[in-house]
Amino acid sequence: MFKKYQGKTYCFSPPVMLATLVIEFSIAIYAIWRYKMNKIGKLIVIMLCALGTFQLSEYLLCGGMGLSNVEWARIGYMAITLLPPLGIHIIIETVGKKKPILLGAAYASCVAFIGFYLFASSSVTLLECMPNYAVFSAYPAIALPFSIYYFVWILAGIYLAVRWRNEMPKYKKPLQAMAIGYLAFVLPTAIVNIVYPSTISGIPSIMCGFAVILAITAIKVLPSCCETRDSIQGLSDNTQTAK
């Protein structure tokens, strides 16, 4: 793939995709190594792995590792579909709220779209390897419902994070990190699409080009909700010394 692009580094070129997926998977590995994995920690690691998987699918969009381009496109769409409900789940768990109906609706709509991309033979019909971004062409009739699904749940997550940040100052830092991460995830994409309407067909690729910011901000949630393994080990050592 590098040869095809003649070594040029574009905004969403293969070298950038490779660097981004390395960053996202590295952050996930760091999180597992550094923090005790409670429920919030596990959700954040799943989110980071979903981001990295999408970048991997883009990097191998023209085929590789025994899978065809269409199969990689399906994997990419399924990975990116997970992000909105995961973010809402992280926000809800952070403040200790119980929102079963909201969370159930978010995950139910997520599962519906994942099922479509996984089982519908025409869910992905065309793929292009462009010089500056990869284009996934999904079934036209699903494009609008998927966009509504995506932006509604992303905006819902931002709303909850901002609202609870003001109501519960002790959760200010993690909620602020999630709100910033979500805004960084969707705002640049919207601006690019307004300035350059021709990029609309590349929304998934462009969005996940900015998703590394979401990965970086997500890791900032962990210090507020998860004990470090060093502190756990230190507490254990102190207990043994007291005995």
| Domains of the chain, earliest start first | 14-229 (1.20.1070.10)
Helix (H, G, I), strand (E, B) or coil at 64: strand
Q: Quote the pLDDT of residue 4.
A: 44
Angle between helices 39-59 and 83-95 (to 10 degrees): 160
CA atoms of 28 and 25, how far apart (whole Å): 5
Q: Quote the pLDDT of residue 207.
A: 63
Question: Which pair of tokens denotes residue 91?
Answer: 């926000």
Q: Quote the pLDDT of residue 236.
A: 40
Q: Quote the pLDDT of residue 86.
A: 94
154 touches 137 (CB < 8 A): no
Give ∠ CA 20-69-45 in degrees, rounded to 5: 35
Q: Quote the pLDDT of residue 9.
A: 35
CA atoms of 166 and 141, how far apart (whole Å): 39
Q: Quote the pLDDT of residue 13.
A: 64
**Contacts with 183 (C-beta within 8 Å, 6 or more apart), sequence order:** 158
CA within 13 Å, CB half, 85:
21
Q: What is the pTM of this model?
A: 0.80
Q: Encode the chain (243 residues) as per-residue pLDDT tens digits.
A: 444 434 333 345 667 778 888 888 999 999 898 888 888 899 999 999 998 898 888 777 766 777 777 788 888 888 989 999 999 999 999 998 889 999 999 999 999 999 998 888 777 765 566 655 556 566 777 777 888 898 899 999 999 999 999 899 888 888 988 898 888 777 776 676 666 665 555 555 556 666 777 888 888 888 777 777 555 444 344 444 444
Q: Quote the pLDDT of residue 202.
A: 54
Q: Quote the pLDDT of residue 19.
A: 81
Q: Quote the pLDDT of residue 136.
A: 58
